[in-house]
Each structure stands twice: as structure tokens, then as C-alpha cells.
Amino acid sequence: MKLGSTEDILFQELKGRESQRRRSRDFVLGLGKTLAVLEARENQGMFEIETRGLVKRFGTRVVLDGIDLHVDQGETLAILGPSGSGKSTLLRCLNALTPFDAGRVRVGEIVLGAGKVPRDLAIQVRRQLGMVFQDFALFPHLRAVDNVALGPRLVLGLTHAQARERALQLLSRVGLAHRADAFPSQLSGGEKQRVAIARALAMEPKGLLCDEITSALDPELKWEVLEVLADLKREGLTLIVVTHEVGFARRVADRVCILTEGRILEHGPPAEVLEHPKTLRVQQFLARVLS
């Protein structure tokens, strides 16, 4: 075989290998782009809650002073802080119950700006983000099952039978199937709060806001309600819980936020914030709560 022929063969082989290398590289790059697109599409479906520069004033008093917050899907955030620090107001801004003065709120794909929120947009927010109040807010003339079934009938358009079936399932989920026909006046504080949780869940929200829902309960009834929240966390529901229950925050929350005078002073994992607070103000607050 002539040398020239050998060189031609080697050249063709090297050329073939280079072409194969380019095809492999293009495949990898193409696969990477495809995965990026798929990931982006998946992220678009993720339910996240976010605030940026959130400000709320009542007259000259600044209640929320530039709050930046981000809660991922399935995450549990516990918000602690002294009375009057803006915790309840923050939840009400997230749920479009209270308009704010500056910044923005994002609930899933819905973005709220400063000022009054249009009613149709507020309804969309509350469909995705349920809220449970400190004072239960049950209708006294309705039985437990009817309190839970009312929203799905009026807002979601379910029939009476469909709404009742959903209500009974949810009351069973919070351990109150046997109290379905009881009126609020016949329920204990812990039972009322669990009915309120079932009512919020009846709208099939992606997240739940809880505003000091155990503050009026004795220790045993508090445990009943907190265990329901722990179960909801295990099921993957996004939770933002305003609470003074440090033990619950330590055990269940993914992150803890300390809010004081309308500002976030510390924010991070429970073990870090609750066991090793950095600021004197948070150290003082935790010492009082734990004493």
C-alpha cells in the first residue's frame, strides 16, 4: 500500500471521528437545551409565594417596612414576633384582604401591586391561598359540615351533594367526622379551629395561611390543631404560620422568620434562628417567649 493511500485513510478516519464528536457535542447541547426548557415549564407550574419591598402604613405608622420574603412550594414558614410587629397584617396582604402601599406580592403566577386589589383578582388569590383566622370565623347558624360545604357550593359551583361529600371527607381528615352535624356553639375551641381548617381546605388551595390559630386554646387543644398542621405539611401543602409556639416552629417549620416593628430581623432554619439568635432584640424576644 502506498504511503499516500495510508495518509488518506488516516485523514478520512480522523475526519469521521471529528464529525462524530461534533454530532455528540450537538446532541449533548441539544439535550441540555431541551432539559432547560422542560425545567422552565415545570417551574412555571410551581406554586411560590413572594414579597418584594412590601410596605404597609396605617396613617403615619409604618406596619410593614420593606418586607422581602420567598416561600417555595411545599415549604412551611413559621413567623414569630412580638404583638404589633405586623405579622397578621403581612398575612392579610398576602391574601389580598388588606391593600398595601408599596412593593409587590406574588402568589403563584398572580402578581399584586400597591393599592386596592380588584375583586376578581382577590378571588383568584384566595382560591390558591386559604386563610385560617384566630377567632375561627365560623357561621354560628350553620352546622360544621355546612360551614365547610358553603364555599365549594357558592364559589366552585359544586352541587349540594358534591359539596357535602367533600366537607365530610375534610372533616374526617381533621378528625371531626363524628362532629359533622354539630353547631359551632356545641364545639370546643380546638374543634372549631379544625373545622375552620377544613373549611379553608375545601377550596383546594395550594397554600394555607394560619394567623395565631392556637392563641386562644388551652395546651391540649393546641396540640390537636398543631398536629393537623403537621399532617398537612407531611402531605406537601405550603404553609405560612404566624405563631408563638416555638416548639411547633422548631419541630415542623422548614424556616423561621422573626418579625419586629415591621422588619425581618432574622430568617433561616429553626435550629439556627431559635437556638443561636444573632441580634439582641431576637434574643430578648425568645427569652421572654420561652420563659
Instruction: Please give the residue that has the higher pLDDT: either 139 or 34.
Output: 139
What phi and psi values does residue 149 have, to the nearest 5 degrees? -80, -15
Q: What is the pLDDT of residues 104-128, one digit of tens each?
A: 999 999 999 999 999 999 999 999 9
| Domain spans, the chain | 1-44, 49-290
> Does residue 28 surpass a pLDDT of 90?
no
Domain covering 49-290, topology: Rossmann fold (3.40.50)
pLDDT at 3: 47
Report the share of the chain in percent with pLDDT over 90: 73
Lowest mean pLDDT among 38-42, 150-154, 158-162, 286-290: 38-42
> How sure is the predictor about 81, in pLDDT bands with cuts at 50, 70 and 90?
very high
Q: Amino acid identity, residue 230?
A: A
Report the share of the chain in percent with pLDDT over 70: 85
Distance CA 185, CA 99 (A): 33
Q: What is the pLDDT of residues 68-78, one digit of tens each?
A: 999 999 999 99
Q: What is the pLDDT of residues 204-218, one digit of tens each?
A: 999 999 999 988 788
> How sure is the predictor about 38, in pLDDT bands with cuts at 50, 70 and 90?
very low
